[in-house]
Each structure stands twice: as C-alpha cells, then as structure tokens.
Amino acid sequence: MANASDARGMIAVDKMGTKVLFVDPASYETDVVLDDFPRTVHELLVVPETGLAYVPIFGDGIHGRNPNPGHLVCIIDLKKRAHVGDIDLRPYIAPHTLKLGPDGLIYITCENSAVVAVIDRFTHKVVDAIESGSTNGHRLIISPDGQRLYTENEEDGTVSVIDLPKRKFLRKIETPRPLAGIAISADGRTVVAVDDEQPTLFLIDTESERVAHTVRLEGVPEAAQIARYSPDNSMIGVTSLKSNTVSLIDPSFRRQHAIKVGNQPMDMAFRGDEVFVACQGDGSVHVIDIPGRRVKHSFNAGTGCESLGFFELPGGGAGVDEHLW
C-alpha cells in the first residue's frame, strides 16, 4: 500500500475494470486499488489544491447505448487514497466529461439529460443545469477566459456554444461529420473538434463560429478519438483508438508525428517531457518521450484505463506538468 502522506502521485481510471488506481509515479507499480464503484467509471478531474479528484459514473453501457445510466460523481481523497463520498446529480443522468471552470465551479456533461450540470466543489451540490441542445453531448471544454463552454455532440455533427457567465445555450456550430473529442487553444481562438469518421481535425474559429480549417492526421489510417493540449500549450496530443496511435502536433498544426502505442489508446497525461497514454484495450500505459518522439517505456495498469492524471498536493514541492516542445 502507498504511504497516505505521499504528496505526489498518479491516479488512473480503469474503465474496463470498474476501478480507480493509484500508481507510483516512479516505479509505475499499482499501489492502491479502489473497487467499490457502480458500472462504470469514466473520465477524471483532479483538483490538487483541495486534495480531491472526481470520477463520474456513466452507466453500464456506452455512448448511445446506455440502458442503465448513472447519476453519481465519485469523490476521491488524494491523500488518503480513498473513495470518500459521492455527488448525486439526479434528476440529471449519464455524466461524462467534467472540467473545473475559472470561476471555481465544476461543469459536467449529462448526456441523456442534454444538460451541463454545475457543481459547487465545496458543498458538492448541484447548483444549476444548463441546456446543451443535444442528448449526444459527450465531451466539453471551457475557454481560458471563462466566457464560453463548448460541448461536442458526437452523432449530431455539431458543437454547442454556451455563454458560461449567463449559463445560457446560445447556438450550435455545424461540422462536416460526427465528432469524437474536443479541445481549445490557449488564446481561446480555436476549438479543435475531432472527426469521428475520418482521421482529421476540424479547426473552428471561435469568432466566426465556423470550421476554418481541416487538418489531416499524418500516419493515422482511421479516425481519432481524444485531443488534449499540454499544460503549457506547446503541443496537442491526439489519440486514435482504432489506429493505436498518438499524434504529437505543434500548436500551428504544421508539424505532427504519429507514434504507435497499445490497443485502443484513449486519454493522456503530461509530465515533464513525457506524455502518458492510457490504452483501454490491453491494460497498458505507454510513456512517450516527447523530444525523441518515441515510446520509452510501457507498463500495465488494471484491465483497461481510459483516463490518467498526476497530482501534487499543497506543500509537495515543484510542479510536474510542464514541458518544452
């Protein structure tokens, strides 16, 4: 078991195994396994300054086929390495992506309810719900200035635009094909929407609210899944679940490099000059050397993790999530 006083750590959401894991960030050994969750755990939000992480319970199905949708967000104490409580979202169901807004509130898509629920992270209560305009709303992103929230609406082939301060749905941006993931640039001018049918990215200009450019993913034969900017915004990682690749792309989208990883790669976590890729199809995590554009190491974690995160609790020393392109 890990020493509960350790200030640094790695947390992984084992979607396929319905568990949450704490992994030693140096040895990559799994130290703690939490397994008291309903089906099934999806995605992750880590808030180191409060010592907590949040894991939604989506339900026992998948997007579009979720007969028993969940309604909980599980609260994980990072210091105790323990599941310490739940947030009940009802009447809102099928929670998925959650983000911490600049206003200090947590925003989470509730797919089957077509809303973005708003959670006070100190009382752990739902304080509002914003209409999203789609029961296909899956992932969300928040602009750096906190003025806009965007949801990608998968089969709709749209991105919903929400006025965050007013908590008001504004409109939808149409994309040429269905979507799978979403990210936003550091300056808030570009929303990156991942094409769910072809290995391309749609770059949406947030001023005109139109697709301004389409970027083909090089060396990626099939459609991608998740896009995530590094903490310093010097690069964007894009995983392709069907191609078993992660693409490292510079912010101008002029340089990209596809790297083969494990089976069904999903989300990523950055640490220094490394990016960790969770592969839910084979239970592996692949560590990418960013400067060398290569896999430097891989290890097993659970049955199949979807999401990863590093944390350092207050007083734990220098941060770990930074790197240079």
Q: Which helix (H) or strand (E) holds 230?
A: none
CA distances from 318 to 54, 63, 265, 282, 293 (A): 23, 38, 29, 33, 25
| Cα–Cα distance measured from residue 296 to residue 198, given in angstroms and rounded to the nearest whole number | 29
CA distances from 283 to 4, 13, 16, 19, 169 (A): 25, 11, 9, 12, 38
Three-class secondary structure of residue 156 per DSSP: helix
Structure tokens at 235: 């690069």
| Cα–Cα distance measured from residue 48 to residue 313, given in angstroms and rounded to the nearest whole number | 5
User: What per-residue confidence (pLDDT) applies to 6?
Assistant: 67
Structure tokens at 59: 């339900």
* pLDDT digits 0-9 by tens, 122-142: 999 999 999 999 999 999 999
Gyration radius (Cα) of the chain, Å: 18
| Cα–Cα distance measured from residue 268 to residue 270, given in angstroms and rounded to the nearest whole number | 7
User: What per-residue confidence (pLDDT) applies to 60?
Assistant: 81
| Cα–Cα distance measured from residue 116 to residue 197, given in angstroms and rounded to the nearest whole number | 25
Structure tokens at 201: 């990215």
What is the overall mean pLDDT for the chain? 93
pTM: 0.93
Q: What are the beta bridge partners of residue 190? A: 205
User: What per-residue confidence (pLDDT) applies to 2?
Assistant: 42
Confidence of residue 304 (pLDDT cuts 50, 70, 90): very high
Q: What are the beta bridge partners of residue 269? A: 276
Task: Say if residues 200 and 216 touch (Cβ distance below 8 Å).
Answer: yes
| 238, pLDDT greater than 60 | yes
Classify residue 214 by its DSSP letter: E
| 318, pLDDT greater than 70 | no
Across 233-258, average pLDDT: 97
| 194, pLDDT greater than 70 | yes
Across 231-238, average pLDDT: 96
User: What per-residue confidence (pLDDT) applies to 172?
Assistant: 98
Q: Give the lowest-confidence range in 2-6, 27-31, 77-81, 296-300.
A: 2-6
Task: Say if residues 6 and 26 touch (Cβ distance below 8 Å).
Answer: no
95-100 and 105-110: which strand pairing? antiparallel
Q: What share of the chain is helix, strand, coil (3-state, %, to 5)?
A: 5, 50, 45
Across 11-39, average pLDDT: 96
Q: Which helix (H) or strand (E) holds 109?
A: strand 105-110
Q: Give the lowest-confidence range in 61-75, 96-110, 231-245.
A: 61-75
- Domains of the chain plus CATH, in order, are 36-174 (2.130.10.10)
* pLDDT digits 0-9 by tens, 80-109: 999 999 999 999 999 999 999 999 999 999
Q: What is the DSSP track for 269-310?
A: EEETTEEEEEETTTTEEEEEETTTTEEEEEEE-SS---EEEE
| Cα–Cα distance measured from residue 168 to residue 164, given in angstroms and rounded to the nearest whole number | 7
Confidence of residue 7 (pLDDT cuts 50, 70, 90): confident
Task: Say if residues 58 and 36 touch (Cβ distance below 8 Å).
Answer: no
User: What per-residue confidence (pLDDT) applies to 316?
Assistant: 53
